[in-house]
Amino acid sequence: MEQKYSAFDSTNVFMFLIRWWKHLLIICFVAALASAVFSGPSFITPKFQSTVVMFPATTGSLSRSVLGGAAGARQDFLQYGDVEEAERLLQVLESGNVRDRVTSRFNLMEHYEIAEDASFRHTQLTEQYRSNISFRRTQYGAVEIRVRDKDPRMAADIANELAALADTVQNELRLERAGLAYEVAKRQYETLQQQAKEAEDSLRHIMKLGVFDLEGQASMLTRQLAKDLSDQHTQGVSALEERLERLGEYGGAYLLHAAYLSNVSEHLIMIQRRYQEARTDLENFVPFKFVLDSAFEAERKVYPVRWLIVFLSTFAAGFLGIMILMVVENLQAKGIIASKPTK
């Protein structure tokens, strides 16, 4: 039996469009007009974007880089950081510490219009913050900060503040450890200074008793004693014997204190260098990044992209209209719904 109505054939799309072009035109026009209106500033707040691009710096010790340390420990203070340094910088920027400081500095609760009595206001703040502020590592190893905001000046200020906080927060962490190292080195240095002073005082006291060069004095006095004995110089022999007895009495203490002072002085020089390095690290602010491009006030908005919204909305409405009209035409062909009467 011959089928009275055939199913819709996709090869007749052109004829289909001719039959329904007025309907499709109206659908697309209404969609374009509606999307143009509803994507306007009255319904969607426009946002401006500011960007900071910076390279991470090496995170080595400033004292080792500038003053030099042990052999092979010297580092280039001006060298760019690697991928690991970039990831560390990203972790700092994404931390709650930085987020809280930016929130407080720019009063983002009020700026994002979050009511004081709103439920889960801190959750709302975090969601707004993350939707407007993003960080990423570029293919060249740099770190990029992107800030979007309804106020272009605010976007630029937040981006530059984030770049500055990257140094501030990391220096606070570094100074906490540098302060501990400084206190330890300072105590050791002061202790060794005191020990060296005590050893010097003891040697000075022994030297006042006539012992200042044990080997030289002993050799000289022995030769002189032998000469006085051969010359039968009784008074000189008695004086020399007294001096030799004093050498024998205090000579051991002299050697002990001299060796101790030498050992303490050697350690004091080493600890003094560590003390200077720790003090250098503690008293200086270290940059952890090199800013390549600072943020500036944007002149054009980046959101929403109205032409894209209008285009996608119109395309989607037209496509949906075609699908619906195709279904309607098929249902009419099968007699399920009545077709429009022909005049």
> What are the tens digits of pLDDT across the range 29-66?
898 888 888 877 777 788 999 999 998 887 655 555 55
Confidence of residue 9 (pLDDT cuts 50, 70, 90): low
Mean pLDDT, the chain, rounded, equals 76
Amino acid at 33: L
Instruction: Write the DSSP string, 255-312.
Output: HHHHHHHHHHHHHHHHHHHHHHHHHHHHHSPPP-EEEEE-----SSEEE--HHHHHHH
Nearest CA to 186 among 91, 74, 278, 295?
278
d(CA 316, CA 307): 14
d(CA 61, CA 182): 13
CA dihedral sign, ordered 326, 332, 336, 340: positive
Chain mean position to CA 265: 40
Residue 307: per-residue pLDDT: 83
pTM: 0.64
Count CB atoms within 10 A of the CB of residue 159. Answer: 23
Domain ranges of the chain: 1-44+304-337, 182-283
Q: Is 212's pLDDT higher than 80?
A: no
Phi, psi of 331 (to 5 degrees): -65, -35
Per-residue pLDDT of 247-277, as tens digits, reads 555 555 666 767 777 787 888 888 878 877 7
Residue 72: per-residue pLDDT: 42
Amino acid at 243: R
d(CA 89, CA 86): 5
